[in-house]
Amino acid sequence: MSEYLCGFPFSDVCGKCVWFFTFSHTMQPLPKYMQLRRRGYYAVLEIPKALRSIFDDKARFVKSLGTRDLRVAEQRLGLILLGWRKLIEKAKGSDSALASIQWEYQQWRSQIESITDDFDKADVESLAHERIEELLRTKGREAASEAYAVIFKKAQPLAARIDEWMASIGHLAAKTQATSKKAAMELCEHFKTTADIDKEGVKGFLVKLRTDKKLSDKTLSCRLSFVRSFISYLDEKYGTDLLPLFTIKALGRGADAKSVKQRAWVPFKASEVTQLYQAAIDKQDGVLADIIACAAYTGCRIEELGQIKLEHVTEESITIADSKTAAGIREVPLHPALSKLMDRLVSESTDGYILKGSDKGSYGKRTDALGKRFGQLKRQEGFGDRHVFHSIRKSVVSQLEQAGVSENTTADIIGHDKPRITYGLYSAGASLKQKIDAIKQVRYEGALGMPKHLLA
């Protein structure tokens, strides 16, 4: 705080001009990045020397705040500085330029919503409209529409929400996180804000993925699962209601060769699963026999089993903490027939996983070698290309269906998206007791009836 002298002229009776000086009121120091000039307050920000050539060799940004009222000037200063800093970030080649721009729009909206005085709010809204008009001139109609939707229609900017969503799934494996982010970024390429998303737009987005990126139906379905996870996060945190638009039905169906081949996979009969299990034992391949038994009583994918750690196993269930789809993250009931085998696997573990594997695959994939050994085994037992490890999973589904287990409970056990929107969106899922009662319907004869072997 400092005092300053104020002077004014006065003519005395002799006509002479005399200056009288007095001390004025105490003057507040100006905020950083603000200057008081003759015509009012100005915003000022230095441009880094290394970037000045990009900005026509200017040393600093300077802009009038359009007022002589310090309180109003302070309100306007932050938003102008924000815009300048985004320009500097972009000039530096920021990887998150889109998210940064969208974050700017959010700051405009937050500033407007925080002001209670109608006149002050009108001033800031006017500045926001000027910013939108600038975007229309420099970036085009699409950018201006995006800014208007976020600032004035309270739409959620998609790219700016990815990082916080990724933080919420930080417990997942690196591969799952990478695939999740890729799917969300593809969504952001097609839609900028939640206001852009509608039924026809979603169909167009999926068609673009199938045609432009040449994704098979199976890959597209997996990608949709991760997109649904992102959209579900937005629905829950920001009150949007978009998840019903991103349904399996929205995919439609193509007929590419790969998806046709995958749909041609057939389940093993229960007796055939027992045959493979016994064959692995006979070949003294204990680890392969163990993973066959685990798959036979859980319906898990091979890599899901390979990623199970000791802390994921309880007396009643196994937690699948990493899966190729969002629906695959689940709690699987522990079949009574697996209890003794699971006890042995837990007690024998030396690396924190229940099954021995290799971490040499991409993203730490542990079951590549086991998958190849299974392929050799099933061919030696007389099975062809239509039978794969995944066929054990199909065998479990078949047994559950034949026992009259509901489709939704089966989906909760094996990790599929719910077939009906209502259950998928609003239901917490089947209880553990329901899932335990259901999995007990899966049965095998012979050695697989109670797998517990210990090979020498």
Q: What class is the 270-449 domain? A: mainly alpha
- What value does the mean pLDDT take over residues 248-260? 51
- What value does the mean pLDDT take over residues 174-192? 90
Per-residue model confidence as pLDDT tens digits over 83-96: 788 777 766 654 45
**Residue 230: band (very low, low, confident or very high) from pLDDT cuts 50, 70, 90:** very high
Least confident of 269-283, 292-306, 402-416: 402-416
More confident residue, 90 or 203: 203
Q: What is the pTM of this model?
A: 0.48
**Residue 142: band (very low, low, confident or very high) from pLDDT cuts 50, 70, 90:** confident
pLDDT at 280: 96
In this predicted structure, the answer to whether residue 165 has a pLDDT above a threshold of 90 is yes
In this predicted structure, the answer to whether residue 228 has a pLDDT above a threshold of 60 is yes
Per-residue model confidence as pLDDT tens digits over 371-413: 999 999 999 999 998 899 999 999 999 999 999 999 989 999 9
More confident residue, 202 or 258: 202
**Domain boundaries of the chain, sorted by first residue:** 40-154, 170-263, 270-449
Least confident of 123-132, 336-345, 373-382, 438-447: 123-132
Three-state secondary structure readout of the chain: CECCEEEEEEECCCCCEEEEEEECCCECCCCCCEEEECCEEEEEEECCHHHHHHHCCCCEEEEECCCCCHHHHHHHHHHHHHHHHHHHHHHCCCCCHHHHHHHHHHHHHHHHHHCCCHHHHHHHHHHHHHHHHHHHHHCCHHHHHHHHHHHHCCCCECHHHHHHHHHHCCCCCHHHHHHHHHHHHHHHHHCCEHHHCCHHHHHHHHHHHHHHCCCCHHHHHHHHHHHHHHHHHHHHHHCCCCHHHCCHHHHCCCCCHHHHHHHCCCCCCHHHHHHHHHHHHHCCCHHHHHHHHHHHHHCCCHHHHHCCEHHHECCCEEEECCCCCHHHCEEEECCHHHHHHHHHHHHHCCCCECCCCCCCCHHHCCCHHHHHHHHHHHHHCCCCCCCCCHHHHHHHHHHHHHCCCCHHHHHHHHCCCCCCHHHHHHCCCCCHHHHHHHHCCCCCCHHHHCCCCCCC
- What value does the mean pLDDT take over residues 218-227? 86
